[in-house]
């Protein structure tokens, strides 16, 4: 079956010739019209549209945005803050970068609509430190929007006022975790907070109710408020509404970003048709479907079970290529849609070496607050690095698994899960390769193989 056409609602203007990131160009293309209309509507109506839309957060967890907004404590008398999570740092994910660099006003408009809907008077965009140009572009765009009355005092001539400031991170992955981000914005180490009691919706920034939304999520909000929640549910599939931006990297002919209706395209269509298939002379071996912490899939494995289609339960029997790319389908086969970062590995890749690369990342990025994560991620890195650069033992797979199994569920934040899932899934799916590694590492590497750690 041929892949469907892209449906670009968020990336509509990305890479469009002649489209620039200044206010004039945005306004020429109908920009800020949605905000102008929104500020004349009752805020509760806007929240209802987002609830109706079924929008799920695009940062990785897929938590319903309307529910998140519904949890905000509006009776505390304290100010409500909104933070844009622009700390895009899940390996394999690179969608927010393009929104911020090429279409920053789309983000600002979505942010202001969300602020108005939730009676927020101050918003912050927390952008990762490694995007200095992105931060400057956003600052310039905010200044332009402020001068034009779309940000700051008396927005669009109303009595509503709300400002946005850009706040730069400084290279720590854990700042993508919303409570770690809040700590960082408060000027501290980004040690995530324990929940309960520190749910951001109740006790967030400065112990005030706080909404933290991903960049792409807020752009979807703008689209939803413009077209209506019901219209949005017509895009995508039930419970996986709207579009998803897939960031494909690694061993495919045409890596890049592609926006499709959620669940309307399969992994096989995405990789073989849209991305042009494997590199010449290679075959696909494995794919990580939703950022590096998502559990890996092995080409050739099959997934069977029952799934809901409308009101009925039907059997499914999928290969990796057959899996529809949406939160629920990927969840059913034991992995996740996460942030949309699809990392493809072909037959030149040794899985022990790939895992060693991932483990080095998580070990570097653990905040160090919880012992199982700090020590576990370090030991998983040490073991896999030793296997590659030192002596590999047949029993290493079992040892790695035992370390990984002792982390999840025993940490304050989801980093514990994120760092153990790669090890657990690599060993579950490629256990043979780990057991044979002491022998196979002595053999010549396949042509085109790269050093990974």
Partner 1 sequence: MNLQPATLQSIDEVITHYPVKRSATLPLLHLIQEDVGYLPPETCEWVAAKLELQPINVLEVITFYPMFRQKPIGRRHVKVCRTLSCALMGGYKTCAQFEKEFNTHRGEVSPDGEVTIDFVECLASCGTAPVVLIDDDLHEKVDCAKAKQLSDQIKAEAKKR
- Please report where in the chains the tokens 């939160």 appear, as a residue: 327
Q: Which is nearer to partner 1, 142 or 235 (CB)?
A: 142
Q: Does 90 bind partner 1 (CB under 8 A)?
A: yes
Q: Which is nearer to partner 1, 3 or 185 (CB)?
A: 185
Q: Does 216 bind partner 1 (CB under 8 A)?
A: no
- Of residues 38, 446, 424, 368, the one with CA closest to residue 224: 38
Q: Which of 140, 168, 195, 382 binds partner 1 (CB under 8 A)?
A: 168
Q: Does 185 bind partner 1 (CB under 8 A)?
A: yes
Q: Does 244 bind partner 1 (CB under 8 A)?
A: no
Contact 420, 378 (CB under 8 A): no
Contacts 24+ apart (CB under 8 A), 402-410: 403/376, 403/379, 404/376, 404/380, 406/372, 406/376, 407/372, 407/373, 407/376, 407/377, 410/370, 410/372
Q: Does 370 bind partner 1 (CB under 8 A)?
A: no
Contact 289, 336 (CB under 8 A): yes
Neighbours of 47 (CB within 10 A): 20
- In this structure, what token pair is assigned to residue 88? 């895009």
Q: Which of 184, 233, 243, 366 binds partner 1 (CB under 8 A)?
A: 184
Taking the C-alpha atoms of residue 180 and residue 190, their distance in angstroms, rounded to an integer, is 4
- In this structure, what token pair is assigned to residue 365? 């990025």
Q: Which of 259, 328, 365, 396 binds partner 1 (CB under 8 A)?
A: 365
Q: Which of 24, 71, 170, 309 binds partner 1 (CB under 8 A)?
A: 170
Which range, of 149-157, 220-228, 249-257, 411-419, touches partner 1 by CB under 8 A?
A: 249-257
Q: Which is nearer to partner 1, 34 or 356 (CB)?
A: 356
Q: Does 357 bind partner 1 (CB under 8 A)?
A: yes
Q: Does 165 bind partner 1 (CB under 8 A)?
A: yes
- Of residues 207, 273, 198, 219, the one with CA closest to residue 109: 219
Contact 415, 367 (CB under 8 A): yes
36 phi, psi to nearest 5 deg: -55, -45
Q: Which is nearer to partner 1, 349 or 412 (CB)?
A: 349
Three-state secondary-structure class, residue 189: coil
Q: Which of 56, 128, 285, 381 binds partner 1 (CB under 8 A)?
A: 128
Q: Which residues pair with 211 in a beta bridge?
A: 82
Q: Does 189 bind partner 1 (CB under 8 A)?
A: yes
Q: Does 361 bind partner 1 (CB under 8 A)?
A: yes
- In this structure, what token pair is assigned to residue 191? 């040690």
How many CA atoms are closer than 13 Å to the CA of 395, on its beta-carbon side? 2
Task: Supply the minimum distance, in Å, between the C-beta of residue 363 and partner 1.
Answer: 10
Taking the C-alpha atoms of residue 408 and residue 365, their distance in angstroms, rounded to an integer, is 16
Q: Which is nearer to partner 1, 31 or 341 (CB)?
A: 341
Task: Supply the minimum distance, in Å, between the C-beta of residue 124 and partner 1.
Answer: 8
Which range, of 61-69, 102-110, 214-222, 341-349, touches partner 1 by CB under 8 A?
A: 341-349
Q: Which is nearer to partner 1, 89 or 269 (CB)?
A: 89
User: Residue 386: is it exposed, middle or buried by C-beta count within 10 angstroms (0-12/13-18/19+)?
Assistant: middle
Q: Which is nearer to partner 1, 137 or 320 (CB)?
A: 137
Q: Does 247 bind partner 1 (CB under 8 A)?
A: yes
Three-state secondary-structure class, residue 310: coil
Contacts (CB under 8 A) with partner 1, residues 389-448 = none
Q: Does 292 bind partner 1 (CB under 8 A)?
A: yes
Q: Does 181 bind partner 1 (CB under 8 A)?
A: no
Interacting residues toward partner 1 by CB under 8 A: 88-94, 96-97, 122, 128-133, 165, 167-173, 184-190, 206, 247-251, 255-257, 292, 341, 343, 345, 349, 354, 357-358, 360-361, 364-365, 367, 450-453
């Amino acid at each position: 079956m041929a892949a469907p056409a892209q449906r670009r609602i968020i990336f509509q203007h990305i890479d469009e010739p002649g489209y620039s990131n200044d206010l004039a160009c945005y306004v020429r293309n109908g920009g800020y019209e949605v905000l102008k209309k929104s500020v004349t509507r009752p805020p509760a109506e806007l929240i209802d549209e987002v609830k109706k839309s079924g929008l799920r957060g695009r940062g990785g967890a897929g938590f319903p945005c309307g529910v998140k907004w519904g949890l905000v404590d509006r009776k505390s008398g304290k100010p409500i803050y909104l933070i844009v999570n622009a700390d895009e740092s899940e390996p394999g994910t690179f969608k927010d970068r393009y929104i911020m660099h090429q279409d920053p006003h789309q983000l600002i408009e979505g942010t202001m609509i969300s602020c108005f809907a939730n009676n927020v008077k101050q918003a912050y965009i927390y952008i990762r430190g490694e995007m200095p140009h992105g931060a400057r572009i956003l600052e310039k765009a905010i200044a332009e929007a402020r001068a034009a009355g779309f940000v700051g005092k008396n927005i669009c001539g109303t009595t509503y006022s709300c400002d946005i400031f850009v706040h730069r991170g400084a290279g720590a992955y854990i700042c993508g975790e919303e409570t770690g981000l809040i700590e960082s914005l408060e000027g501290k180490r980004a040690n995530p907070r324990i929940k309960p009691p520190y749910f951001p919706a109740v006790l967030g920034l400065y112990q005030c109710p706080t909404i933290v939304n991903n960049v792409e999520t807020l752009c979807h909000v703008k689209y939803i408020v413009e077209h209506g929640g019901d219209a949005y549910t017509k895009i995508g599939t039930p419970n996986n509404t709207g579009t998803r931006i897939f960031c494909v990297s690694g061993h495919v002919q045409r890596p890049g970003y592609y926006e499709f209706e959620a669940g309307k395209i399969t992994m096989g269509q995405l990789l073989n048709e849209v991305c042009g298939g494997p590199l010449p002379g290679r075959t696909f071996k494995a794919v990580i479907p939703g950022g590096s912490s998502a559990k890996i899939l092995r080409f050739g494995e099959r997934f069977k079970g029952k799934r809901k289609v409308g009101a009925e339960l039907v059997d499914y029997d999928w290969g990796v290529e057959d899996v529809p790319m949406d939160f629920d389908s990927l969840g059913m086969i034991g992995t996740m849609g996460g942030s949309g970062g699809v990392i493809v590995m072909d037959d030149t890749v040794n899985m022990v070496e790939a895992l060693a690369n991932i483990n080095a990342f998580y070990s570097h990025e653990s905040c160090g607050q919880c012992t199982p994560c700090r020590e576990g991620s370090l030991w998983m890195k040490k073991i896999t690095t030793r296997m590659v650069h030192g002596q590999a033992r047949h029993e290493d797979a079992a040892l790695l698994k035992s370390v990984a199994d002792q982390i999840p569920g025993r940490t304050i934040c989801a980093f514990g899960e994120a760092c153990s899932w790669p090890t657990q899934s690599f060993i579950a799916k490629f256990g043979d390769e780990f057991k044979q590694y002491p022998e196979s590492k002595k053999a010549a590497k396949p042509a085109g193989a790269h050093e990974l750690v």
